Chains A and B, each alone.
Chain A
Amino acid sequence: MSTLTKQDTFSSLLAAAPKNFESVRTLGNESFLAQGLPAVKAEEYKFTNISKKLEQNISNFSPALPFKVTAELVKSSVFEGFEGDLLVFANGKFLPELSSKIEDLEVSLISDKPELSLGSIAKPEKDAFAALNQASFEDGIFISVPKKAQIEKPVLLLSFNQANEGQVIQPRLWIEVGDFAEVTFIDQSISLGDTSYFVNKVVEVKGGVNSQIHYYRLQNEGKNAIEVSNIETDIQKDARFSSVTISLSGDMVRNNLNLNLIGSNSEGNMYGIYLINGKTHVDNHTNVDHTIPHAESNELYKGILADQSRGVFNGKIFVRQDAQKTNAFQQNNNILLSEDAIVNTKPQLEIWADDVKCSHGCTVGQLDEEALFYLQARGIDKMQAKGLLLYAFAGEVLEKIEVESFREYCDSLIQDRLGSKF
């Protein structure tokens, strides 16, 4: 029995939690203690032994302190071609002096919003890590997009992470998007150095009626970064929430993404690429809950795994009894480039309504040898032919990114990784 399955490890973190949001924290604390950290056989963490990983790699379970970030660092870290506003964080702490003042957008510290019903969307009882964050987060930010506002330029959430004495980073975001409003977020974390740290992130998104929200994530952290995130949103009537998650590195990454379709004619889209090598472990657990009729969800995750990397995909689709005329599509395709790479993929459909269109499919395979030979037979170098095929494989997800500069940036990272330019 791992010591971490008991809660002792986090007791100091829990004890040192700020005193605000008392009832919210108490709820988180109780929920965390009731669940404990996932045990080895816990169904939801069966293929991702995060407890063991934490035990082996993290020695100081106190908060990693904020550190000084220079304007030069920010400037050099923003990807080429980015045009938009910037919110900067160091170990989860918001740095207003380095962030943009965004027209039409309210940004404040969560500690300045005591009335927020934190945990009402990402409920602590669903996941031990969401509960842990709720009990012990330091602070976070509140972002509000007013009704009908159209934030045309994307908002880049740029987080710098680095362990110092403490190794735990717990970002928390609350995003409110008013009715008919539109906004795009790009959530990118950058590791400073190769220190071991544990990010435990919670993002709650409260969308309005007919709102349009894009949430892009780029996970390209250091090889010792461990991360668990819980992103959850309720999608209202006629609204659309689309996410694209690009995971390229890290030690162990677990993404819980939960979309609750609660208004008719709502749409939830989940796309992702995990292109990993070395010993990187990436686990995407998605959950889409159709509670009402006439909603649609689309999901496509693609994995390319080299070396001894490991990928996990678990896609749950719930279609409740009232959710007639639901369209729900899910697809997960994987290419293994080495005999030591592993992928576990599990579609999980639970359908209680009888008039729905649902489909799912998953594949695990190698590169198509016939296609490879065809390209070589036309004079294309074998390595480049492989790159071309893998790039084409990933392309279907990349094209879901609607911000051109960000798409091009991800494109270039992927091309670099695949070892060829096209």
Chain B
Amino acid sequence: MLSIKNLHASIEGTEILRGINLEVKAGEVHAIMGPNGSGKSTLASVLAGREEYEVTEGEVTFKGKNLLDLAPEDRAREGVFLAFQYPVEIPGVSSTNFLRTAVNQVREYRGQEPLDAVKFLTLMKEKMKLVEIDQKLLSRSLNEGFSGGEKKRNEIFQMAMLEPTLSILDETDSGLDIDALRIVSNGVNQLKSDKNATIVVTHYQRLLDYIVPDYVHVLYKGRIVKSGTKELAMELEEKGYDWIKDEIDSAATV
């Protein structure tokens, strides 16, 4: 589904990603872990099409298409979903109108009929249950005045509405208390199927108790330096990142 080959990306002349290789197949959950500043969020942003990052080398194909050629909105319509680390507050744009515009533009791109108001509301009600989000929140402006937990739940709710094939969760767990974490993870797990894939970007292993990954990759200085299964995450939890850093840095000096 997703194939990343030798991806290099920089921002304002500073190289952040220095040759990422990653294959993600339908039905899989990949966790990308790593210390702060290793390039985790950059990878998520580059995949979603954030313009500040310049891809200097490498390629990314998604369902056979060159993802890097597509505008952010077309990536979303193709089925890429980024759950933001910091969801944006947009005063004056109602959550419901925003979502209806988004859902119908995505449907149009996929050759589906737009949803009328009734069908849209029915869908919304159904998906709201997944993340236990209150209807009152959705009658407000998008993310405006939402708590941290509410914003993250709203991200997963949007994900449920847009039915992506590849979901990238960028530090969705950070700042969540255990209840919110459970709700968010439940939502993600219920949306999992053998047709879609999930990339979970996180600093902490805690989230992976709830969203169990098939593969765990450790990102350090812009490269994937170690890959394994969920046991690798346990090891990281126990030993921290220093042993990996030492391993890589000493290998580099040899």
Contact = CB atoms under 8 A, between A and B. Distances in A.
Given A379-B102, A380-B73, A422-B101, A374 B92 contact: no
A371 to B, nearest CB: 5
B73 A395 contact: no
A384 B72 CA distance: 13
Contact of A371 (B72, B75, B88, B101): B88
Interface stretch (B23-31, B45-53, B59-67, B218-226): B45-53
A389 B72 contact: no
Contacts of A376: 49, 71-73, 76
Nearest to B109: A379
Contact of A393 (B77, B92, B103): B92
Contact of A392 (B84, B88, B91, B99): B91
B234 interface: no
Contacts of A388: 93, 98, 101
Among B81, B90, B103, chain A packs the most CB atoms within 10 A around the CB of B90
Contacts of B99: 378
B82 A377 contact: yes
A382 B73 contact: yes
B95 to A, nearest CB: 11
A380 B102 CA distance: 5
Contacts of A382: 71-73
Contacts of B51: 369, 373
A379 B105 contact: yes
A109 B92 CA distance: 44
B106 interface: yes
Contacts, number: 75
B9 interface: no
Contacts of A392: 90-93, 141
Among B73, B77, B81, B90, chain A packs the most CB atoms within 10 A around the CB of B73
Contacts of B114: none
A375 interface: yes
A377 B97 contact: no
Given A379-B73, A380-B101, A374 B88 contact: yes
B162 interface: yes
B19 interface: no
B158 interface: yes
A379 B162 contact: yes
Among B72, B97, B141, B158, chain A packs the most CB atoms within 10 A around the CB of B72
Nearest to B94: A392
A248 B221 CA distance: 52
A373 B50 contact: yes
A371 B141 CA distance: 13
Interface string B128-142: 000000000000010
Tell me what chain A mostly uses at the interface: helix, strand, loop, or mixed: helix
Contacts of B105: 379-381, 384
B101 A384 contact: yes
A373 B72 contact: yes
A370 interface: yes
B149 to A, nearest CB: 18
A374 B162 contact: no
B76 A377 contact: yes
A376 B48 CA distance: 10
Contacts of B141: 392
B212 to A, nearest CB: 26
B148 interface: no
B35 interface: no
A379 B76 contact: yes
Among B88, B91, B92, chain A packs the most CB atoms within 10 A around the CB of B92
Given A370-B88, A384-B101, A377 B162 contact: no
A165 interface: no
A379 B71 CA distance: 10
A396 interface: yes
Given A374-B84, A376-B49, A381-B73, A395 B92 contact: yes
B77 to A, nearest CB: 5
B90 A374 contact: yes
A341 to B, nearest CB: 21
Nearest to A398: B92
Contacts of B75: 377
A301 to B, nearest CB: 16
B234 to A, nearest CB: 32
10 contacts: A369-B51, A374-B84, A377-B73, A379-B103, A379-B162, A380-B105, A384-B101, A389-B93, A392-B92, A392-B93
9 cross-chain pairs, A with B, having the tightest CB-CB distances, nearest first: A392-B92, A379-B76, A376-B72, A379-B106, A378-B102, A374-B88, A376-B73, A392-B93, A395-B92
Interface of B: 48-51, 71-73, 75-77, 81-82, 84, 87-88, 90-93, 97-99, 101-103, 105-106, 109, 141, 158, 162
Given A377-B73, A379-B102, A388-B101, 17 more contacts: A371-B90, A373-B50, A374-B84, A374-B87, A374-B88, A376-B49, A377-B49, A378-B98, A378-B102, A379-B103, A379-B105, A380-B98, A380-B101, A382-B72, A384-B101, A395-B92, A422-B97
